[in-house]
Amino acid sequence: MLKPHGKDLRKGRVSLDGQIYLVTSVTLDRKPYFADFRWGRVLVRTMQHHAEIGDVESLAFVVMPDHFHWLFALMGQCSLSELIGRVKGAAAYQINHLHEGAFSGMIASHTIADEAAPTMRLGRVWQKGFHDRALRRDEDLRSVARYMVMNPVRAGIVQRIWYYPLWDAVWVE
């Protein structure tokens, strides 16, 4: 199996205070974990937390069933790689915790030898690495955000973006 060029993605990655980045990260094997609204909200709350504590100025995001896009200005509290690692790690931890809770009542009905017993943890949620693009100062951020958040419409998940719950942009009131 060929691995994505993760090392190539990291070559030349620079974390600059105030730089605006568009980041994309994908779930392991593109499993649609975020089709479950509760799990999608976990990721949204995690991104919002990092905006609240000053790691980023969040400009826009969309959480798709198997990936997310996030447009933000990095505020210098940590590097880009550290930030995305923290977001993905915290979201995976919380999603695994929710998943464990969903199966807590089912475990009692299975013996240890029962191969059909549900697994308590999902385990890894994310593919390694992420894709980032540093935006130029002259780029139209609203157009970038608009294109990004229209992903659910282009994917045929909803007919209008207003019907999709897992997105936001600072330009929307």
Could you tell me which residues are beta bridge partners of residue 70?
23, 61
Using the predicted structure, report yes or no on whether residue 158 has a pLDDT greater than 60: yes
pLDDT in tens, 16-40: 889 999 999 999 999 999 999 999 9
| CB of 162 closer than 8 Å to CB of 142 | no
Using the predicted structure, report yes or no on whether residue 126 has a pLDDT greater than 60: yes
H or E segment to which residue 70 belongs = strand 67-74
Query: Could you give the strand order of the β-sheet that contains 67-74, starting from the edge strand earlier in sequence?
Result: 131-134, 20-26, 67-74, 56-64, 167-169
pLDDT value of residue 77: 83
pLDDT value of residue 121: 55
| Locus of tokens 């998940």 | 157
Distance of alpha carbon 71 from alpha carbon 94, whole angstroms: 23
Which stretch of 70-84, 106-120, 129-143, 148-162 has the lowest confidence by average pLDDT? 106-120
pLDDT in tens, 90-100: 999 999 888 66
Q: What is the dihedral of CA 98, 99, 101, 104, to 10 degrees?
A: 180
| CB of 152 closer than 8 Å to CB of 67 | no
- Residue 12, phi-psi category: left (phi > 0), alpha (psi -120 to 50), beta (remainder): left
Whole-prediction pTM value? 0.82
Architecture of domain 17-169: 2-Layer Sandwich (3.30)
pLDDT in tens, 99-113: 665 544 444 444 444
Tell me the Cα Rg of the chain.
18
The tokens describing 41, both together, are: 């909200």
Using the predicted structure, report yes or no on whether residue 70 has a pLDDT greater than 50: yes
